[in-house]
Chain A
Amino acid sequence: MDNVFDVIVLGTGLPESIAAAALAKAGLKVAHVDPNPYYGADEATLTLDELVQWAETHSTSSTEEPIHYRVDYLSPDCPSHPKQYSISLSPSVIPSIGPFISSVISSGVARYGSYKLLGPIAIYRNDKFQSVPQSKESIFQDRSIPLVEKRRLMRFLVFASGEFEDSPELQGQENTSFDRFLRESFSLSEEISQVIMFSLASCNFSGESTLTALHRVRSCLRSAGRYGSSPFLVGYYGGSGEIIQGFCRAAAVNGGVYILGRKILNVVVNGAQEPERFAVELEDVPDTLRSSCILSSMTCIPRSLRSQANLTASDSNVPGTIRCQLSAVARCVAIVQGTLTPPHLHGTDDMPLVEGQSDSFLAVFPPGSLDGGSTTSSVTLLTAGAGTMSAPSGTSMASIPQIRSVSNRHEIDIIYLSMPLHERGMSSKDLLQPYLAGILDSNPMCQLVFQLFYMQHLPVVQNQSCGDTIPNFFVFSHLQPDVFQSVDQASLDAEKAFWSTIQGVGSQTNCKGFWAEGDNVEQDL
């Protein structure tokens, strides 16, 4: 086997896979390796039986790994038809405008998958879900907002969707807490401020800075209307894990070599004079892979080399993508029989699903909104069901007697809960159980059939030492788990890594990945 490559990509997480597709497209010889037998690494989509297996292997936390998991609770029983579930380890929605969707389209990966609009976005207040207006039009329709407040809100939305950078309103307020900015500069009520902060601006905590939050509000507002009423899309079959497979296939059709499920035994760095600076040894692969460049997730490289890697994070000066440093995320995956009632726009009647809209919806519990819940962190709820092929559809389950027909839509919903944390040490079950209970209380027809609680620990961010890094040895900063923003961040990181690699390899190809110029392979008749 020809075992010499321009670049070896280690790990099939989202940023690695986007970068691999771009590099292969640019004409580089790419080998893409993952020690797991599945695609996607920390952003994988698993079937339910695979998820159970995954949880069993993570019941003890390995602190060796930069990103590591600790399962706090796993249901003893697995529902039937486990293979008909697609469950994401990193549930996320896709902004309709942004670097990620651009990459999906310009790479041609769009044609490998299907997407729908996210359903309602809601915020939990006063013991119930209230739908969040996602466009100026829907604010007019919302009968629950007093007229004066509507005017103020409109004034804010016009401000936030425009070029606010040099506006007098913002001067000197860039680092004020967003909450205060909304209330003082725009006289918005606490209720409306919360809606803006925790949904449109997707803040995780109170007190995030105004400039960052404003950028997120603007990208959200501008995304609405591209494909429909919602600014966000959801992917079929579990979302990003499926899209990753599309990027990897795109890399493969451009000559990328794929090796999954082989343990990485060693990564060797040769002397600078060697033409192939790097060697990667894999279990059960007789030939050592060699390359002049390595692009890896932090997890895939030996501990001893981690401090010598060049961290390729997207420019942290790009506004709106500033990472608030999390140390962990508490997560829950629950499966219910019966369908969660999606919140509808307050004051209007139950709205039928519009064309292209999925049965997924998203809700945010701001800090302190739920009795027994967190007073410092927000919790995001995302649901997925048969509408995005993430769970068995009602019809295919109809022959099973114990399932009562409770809905005319479908009968299985997947519930994802995630809570970003600044501190470690707590149990994900203790943290999230009250939220799950609250959701189920308001949906008495739903019966819980599966639950998994786990903690995802994130690495402490290393300060890049500029001194003794190895050239052409690029490592991705870990992806901040964020329902709204992680896919865009992955794409920015991938693009940065792409250009670093192109430069590192000194490639003489014309070097268009799909950021410089998109050219879909057109092979239709």
Chain B
Amino acid sequence: MADAAAGSLDKSVQVKLVLLGEAAVGKSSVVLRFVSNEFQPNKEPTIGAAFLTQKCRLEDRVLRYEIWDTAGQERFHSLAPMYYRNAQAAVVVYDVTKASSLEKAKSWVKELQRQANPNIVIALAGNKVDLVQPSDSLPSPSPASESEDEADDATATPGEAPSTGGGEESLRQVPREEAQAYATEAGLLFFETSAKTGEGIVEIFTEIAKKIPIEHILASNRSAGRNGAAGNRAGASRQEGAVDLEENPAKAKDACNC
């Protein structure tokens, strides 16, 4: 690992992305939809995973997202500073059928602005939009939704039948315009999404990718290689100059790399 120039191995740039939002708004589902659709349709659930990785291709670049879920530590406001550390992107999720979840999302945005990297790209995602739209009027389901539509949305709020059939606009508690206005004012990307149908999911990650200042990341990684100081470290990946603890022949279980 020692001298590999930042991200040179596969020309992809590693980007740490953190998820935030109230419990049960569908954070994990959004990620599962994004991650498992692309390459691994039968991927196991995230439970027990440190973070998930997924590549995102743009015309001129490839990003490798390292996506961190809250692991429930947001529930009692017990997220560690380590969680925000070096995150270059964040997706703050709320539930369009629950007004209070947008308020919560706003407080997470504040928290990010206080704790996180000042250049962080933040996207606001109004999830569960499938609950408030007639299914036939979905604006062109994203390619992500092609394969399976099964019970992916594990955290769907109990008591609400997700299979609405007709457009239950009355379930909507957060008007699109209101959230859009807030996002514009706060400088956030904004999407309404459905982890269940896949609507808007790929778009979020693609738009974030476009907005990430890749050159900045590369530049700071390079300077890290030289003097050991860096403004950014891509998630938990090895920083230039750092010691890789697991790269060690003395450790029997890791010995076989062949």
Contact indicator B229/A387 (Cβ below 8 Å): yes
Q: B39 — which chain A residues lie within 8 A by C-beta?
A: 525
Contact indicator B239/A114 (Cβ below 8 Å): yes
Q: A525 — which chain B residues lie within 8 A by C-beta?
A: 39-40, 53-55
Extra pairs beyond A110-B245, A237-B85, A258-B76 (13, CB < 8 Å) = A111-B246, A115-B242, A245-B81, A245-B82, A248-B80, A249-B71, A256-B72, A257-B76, A259-B76, A261-B78, A410-B227, A523-B50, A525-B55
**Chain A, 229-256, contact with B by CB distance < 8 Å: what is the 0/1 string?**
0000100110000100110111011111
- Name the residue in B236, B241, B253 with the highest tally of chain A Cβ atoms < 10 Å from its Cβ: B241
Q: Does B228 contact A (CB under 8 A)?
A: yes
Rounded to whole angstroms, the CA-CA distance of A227 and B2 in the bound complex is 12
Rounded to whole angstroms, the CA-CA distance of A245 and B50 in the bound complex is 13
Q: A253 — which chain B residues lie within 8 A by C-beta?
A: 47-50, 69, 71
26 A/B residue pairs, CB under 8 Å, sorted by A: A105-B251, A114-B233, A114-B242, A115-B245, A116-B243, A228-B243, A233-B243, A237-B85, A245-B80, A246-B82, A248-B73, A249-B82, A250-B50, A252-B73, A256-B72, A260-B78, A261-B78, A262-B76, A394-B229, A395-B229, A410-B227, A521-B48, A521-B50, A523-B51, A524-B53, A525-B54
Contact indicator B229/A386 (Cβ below 8 Å): yes
Rounded to whole angstroms, the CA-CA distance of A353 and B81 in the bound complex is 29
Q: Does A402 contact B (CB under 8 A)?
A: no
Q: Does A372 contact B (CB under 8 A)?
A: no
Q: Does B75 contact A (CB under 8 A)?
A: yes
Q: A155 — which chain B residues lie within 8 A by C-beta?
A: none
Shortest Cβ gap from B138 to chain A (Å):
30
Which 8 residue pairs spanning A and B have beta carbons closest together? Answer: A245-B80, A252-B71, A258-B78, A245-B82, A260-B78, A393-B229, A387-B228, A114-B242
Interface size on A, residues (CB 8 A): 59
Closest B residue to A282 using CB positions:
B76
**Chain B, 232-258, contact with A by CB distance < 8 Å: what is the 0/1 string?**
010010110111011010110110000
Q: Does B83 contact A (CB under 8 A)?
A: yes
Q: Does A431 contact B (CB under 8 A)?
A: no
CB contact between A104 and one of B85, B242, B245 (< 8 Å): that residue: B245
**Chain B, 25-68, contact with A by CB distance < 8 Å: what is the 0/1 string?**
00000000000000110000001111111110000000000000
Contact indicator B49/A523 (Cβ below 8 Å): yes
Q: Does B218 contact A (CB under 8 A)?
A: no
List A192-213 residues whose CB lies under 8 Å from chain B.
none
Rounded to whole angstroms, the CA-CA distance of A246 and B228 in the bound complex is 22
Rounded to whole angstroms, the CA-CA distance of A518 and B254 in the bound complex is 10
Closest B residue to A110 using CB positions:
B245
Contact indicator A227/B76 (Cβ below 8 Å): no
**Chain A, 489-525, contact with B by CB distance < 8 Å: what is the 0/1 string?**
0000000000000000000000000000010010111
